[in-house]
Structures are given as structure tokens and as C-alpha cells.
Amino acid sequence: MTMALTDLLLLGRESDLESERGVSCTGELPSPSDPSLVERAQKARAALGDRALILGHHYQRDEVIAFADITGDSFKLAQAAAASPTAEYIIFCGVHFMAESADILTSVEQKVILPDLAAGCSMADMATASQVDECWKVLTDLGLADATIPVTYMNSSAAIKSFTGKNGGTVCTSSNAKRAMTWALEQGEKVLFLPDQHLGRNTAVLGLGLTLEDCVLWNPWKPMGGLTENEIRQAKIILWRGHCSVHGRFSLDSVKEVRERISGVKVLVHPECQHEVVAAADVVGSTEMIIKTIEAAPVGSAWAIGTELNLVSRLAKAHPDKSVVFLDKTVCYCSTMNRIDLPHLVWVMESLVNGHLVNQIQVQPEVAKYSKIALERMLALP
């Protein structure tokens, strides 16, 4: 059987990370068909007790969410990690950048664990430290860096958060992006928004009332980002050419189709969706806001939701008195988020019970120092 290139790259990354930490899960992962898997998970969880805190992102599988002590979006889980100083182990059921943020915000005595080291984020990978450094060099050479405030989405690597903290910027989430961008424009004349172009554009135009012409798109694969000097100077918001592979798939056709198919349907989407989709939606909000909107919706109302399928399916099951459907007709899970499954969770918990620390996520001290500055600026926003 021929493996896809992306699978090979992910396996290679996992192997490299495991080699660095002296960890191997070869032959140790339980089989997903093991009939005692849930029982093993329950037994290991009980044995760990208060020593462990399990954080589960909303996009995780139901089998993982069942064992989460706290569920939430990346912002809520980052806060939860920071507010849990007594937990010896933070088992983060999410993706790599989330576990990095947890490591940054917790004490050196606490250990953050990612059940599958290959659970990355394609959006976060779209902005590398070297690419952002090159962009900043261009802005510096043009005499614009001092007037530019970097704002990075939580969905970015610790290296990018560190760059942001070092250069006077902050981190944001989908729930506080408007406040973060407002703050940045109060500090400087321009914003360099990383790495999600759609969240940045939607926040600038639909949140702050700027125009599409106030925004330019920086392509890291082209000289000067594919922009002219005049375009860079005139821009208020410099958007990085990155996107979410799940939210970016929703289209204006998806919105039109569901409105034709379901009478009176309300379209509810995440701000990582494309600008025309967000502009055509009835309600736009973060993952937490999507959940609260459905909870508060009247009985019998119909909703088409543009976000990750695990969450949409869970909301549909939790609210049978309402019609909740996926905005796009084709099924789409977050492939990297779905790498965390019950066998991996059982493996890390049983390893800890047996005295073996596996898959620890550790951010280098210098990187953590400036990343924490950026994260704390975010947490201090009103």
C-alpha cells in the first residue's frame, strides 16, 4: 500500500520528535478494536486521580471528549491550564500549538503531554519563524517595523508567539480578535496579522469597519510578499497567507445551497471561514459562541453550521429539538485533530500510571519567555 506524502511527513515528524525525547510507542499502543479499551481508560484515569488534568478541544472525537475534565476552544483551554497549578500532568487532547501554549503558561514542575505527537495544525505550519523573520526584515528596511504591531492567532507555533512577544505584539483567539486588533492599532499604525488571513480580514472589515482595500495579503513564497512597496505602505492590515483547511472549504455556494434546501435555516459560521461566507452568514462567532448560540436557540429552529464536523455532530445530538446540520454537504473532519484517539489517550495514561513520562511537550526557555509575554498581553485584554 502506498502512503500519502502528508502521512509520510507526519510519521517522520513524529519519529523525529520521539527520538529527541527518547520515546517510542512502537508495539505499545492498544488496538482500537480492543473491547476493553474504555475499561482500561477508566481504570488508568482513576489511578491518576488529581495528578492529571485532561483538556479536550471541542473538535476532538467523542471517545476522547468522554474522558476530558474540561472541554473548550484553544483560549478556554489555555486559561484552564494556567489556572491548574496543582496538576502534575496536563494531558492536552488537541494539537501541538495548544500543548505548547499550555507548557508556556504552566510551571516548570508540571508536564504537558500530547497523546499523539503527529497532531499538528496545517494553519500553524503555514507561518514558519524564518518566513516571518524575512517579512519583518522587509518592513524594517522600509522603515515600517516600528509602526507595525504583530498579532498572531493562537493557532501558531511557539516560535511565532515568541516573535510576536519580542516585537510588542499579542496573541488573539477567534473570540477576542476584534479587541486584540483594536489594541494593536492603538499601539501602532499597522498590524501584521498571522497566520490566518480569513480571521484577520473578517475582523478588520466586519469587526472594525475597515475596507478590503485597507488589507493586503503577504505571500511568504514571493519576494516582498508579492506586494509593491506602495501597497505595503498604504495598508493598515498586512494579512499572512494562511488558512484553516476545514473552515476554508466552506463556500458561498454552500450557503446558497443550504438556504434553498432548508426553509428558514440560519447559517452560523466560524470567523476562519472565507470573507464572502462570513458576510453571507446570519451569525458569526468563535467555537464557544457557536455552542452558546445553539444552546440558546428556540425549539424547532434550523441551523447550518460552518465549523468542524465533530462539534457539529455533537451539537446535533445534544439538541434533538432543533435541526442542526453541517454547512457543507461533504463530510470534513480536522484530520490532525482526529489523530488523538482513545488508544493514544489510554497509552499515555497507562504509561504515567507505570511511571513512564511520554510525549512531553517542552518549549525552549528563550522561546517560552517571549511567548508568555504575548500570551499574557492577550489574557490582560478586556
> Which of the listed residues 227, 244, 261 is the one where a domain comes to its end?
244
- In the block, which residue shows the cell 471541542? 58
Task: Give the number of domains in the chain.
Answer: 3
Residue 214 lies in a domain: yes
Shared domain check, 172 and 106: no
Neighbours of 5 (CB within 10 A): 8
Residue 76 lies in a domain: yes
The grid coordinates listed for 91 are 494531558
User: Which CATH number does the domain housing residue 41 bear?
Assistant: 3.40.50.10800
The grid coordinates listed for 160 are 511565532
Shared domain check, 148 and 128: yes
The grid coordinates listed for 18 are 520521539
3-state secondary structure of 305: strand
* 100, 361 contact by CB (below 8 A): yes
> Which of the listed residues 189, 218, 244 is the one where a domain comes to its end?
244
Shared domain check, 140 and 238: yes
Amino acid at 286: S
The grid coordinates listed for 5 are 506524502
* 91, 345 contact by CB (below 8 A): yes
Q: What is the CA radius of gyration of the chain?
A: 21
For each of the chain's 382 residues, which pLDDT tens digit applies? 333 333 333 333 343 333 333 344 444 788 888 889 999 999 999 999 999 999 999 888 899 999 999 998 887 887 898 899 999 999 999 999 999 999 998 999 999 999 999 998 889 899 999 999 999 999 999 999 999 999 999 999 999 999 999 999 999 999 899 999 999 999 999 999 999 999 999 999 999 999 999 999 999 999 999 999 999 999 999 999 999 988 888 999 999 999 999 999 999 999 999 999 999 999 999 988 999 999 999 999 999 999 988 889 999 999 999 999 999 877 667 777 778 999 999 999 999 999 999 999 999 999 999 999 999 999 898 7
Residue 331 lies in a domain: no
Shared domain check, 41 and 24: yes
* 118, 10 contact by CB (below 8 A): yes
Shared domain check, 240 and 143: yes
Q: In Å, what is the CA distance from 203 to each residue of 225, 247, 274?
A: 21, 15, 12
Residue 381 lies in a domain: no
CA distance 9 to 279: 36
Shared domain check, 251 and 240: no
Shared domain check, 17 and 108: yes
Shared domain check, 256 and 281: yes
Helix 309-318 and helix 287-296, axial crossing angle in degrees, nearest 10: 20
Q: Which residues form the domain of 178? A: 124-244
Shared domain check, 259 and 231: no
The grid coordinates listed for 90 are 496536563
The grid coordinates listed for 6 are 502528508
Residue 306 lies in a domain: yes
In sequence order, the β-bridge partners of residue 269 are 284, 306
The grid coordinates listed for 203 are 475582523
Shared domain check, 240 and 128: yes
Residue 377 lies in a domain: no
